[in-house]
């Protein structure tokens, strides 16, 4: 039996509501992580890279990915943050964004219970 137009509309509405619920859940779970990663990246930008004016450190932001709906991006808008992170032919990279996310992920990892072994 072929679905009628009203059935399709009901499915579309419920699908949209489900996506909005998932989005809210993602925001609730990811915002504290991204705030912590951003703060750590700002500290690492000062200690791990060449630091003179603080422009790169001040330009570190995070945002929800436009291309991938439930993912977040930690980035710098200074214009040269990628060169500091990855390096160039004239300069060795001094990573600060990647290590900040990795260290924050270790901090947010679920703690194992004392009584459980694994």
What tens digit of pLDDT does each residue of 76-118 get?
888 888 888 888 999 998 989 989 999 998 888 776 655 555 5
pLDDT digits (tens, 9 = 90+) for 25-37: 667 778 888 999 9
What would you report as the CA-atom Rg of the chain, rounded to the nearest whole angstrom? 21
**Strand partners for 89:** none
And the tokens for 10?
């009901």
pTM: 0.69
Maximum Cα–Cα distance for the chain, whole Å?
69
2, pLDDT greater than 50: no
Half-sphere exposure of 45 (CA within 13 A, CB side): 27
Percent of the chain having pLDDT more than 90?
Answer: 15
And the tokens for 39?
């703060």
pLDDT recorded at residue 50: 75
């Amino acid at each position: 039996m072929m679905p009628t137009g009203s059935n399709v509309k009901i499915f579309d509405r419920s699908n949209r509501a489900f996506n909005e619920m998932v989005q809210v859940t993602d925001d609730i779970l990811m915002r504290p992580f991204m705030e912590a990663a951003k703060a750590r990246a700002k500290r690492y930008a000062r200690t791990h890279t060449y630091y003179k004016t603080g422009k790169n450190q001040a330009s570190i932001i995070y945002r929800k990915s436009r291309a991938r709906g439930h993912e977040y991006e930690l980035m710098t808008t200074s214009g040269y943050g990628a060169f500091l992170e990855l390096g160039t032919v004239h300069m060795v990279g001094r990573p600060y964004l990647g290590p900040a996310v990795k260290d924050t992920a270790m901090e947010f990892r679920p703690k194992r219970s004392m009584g459980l072994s694994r």
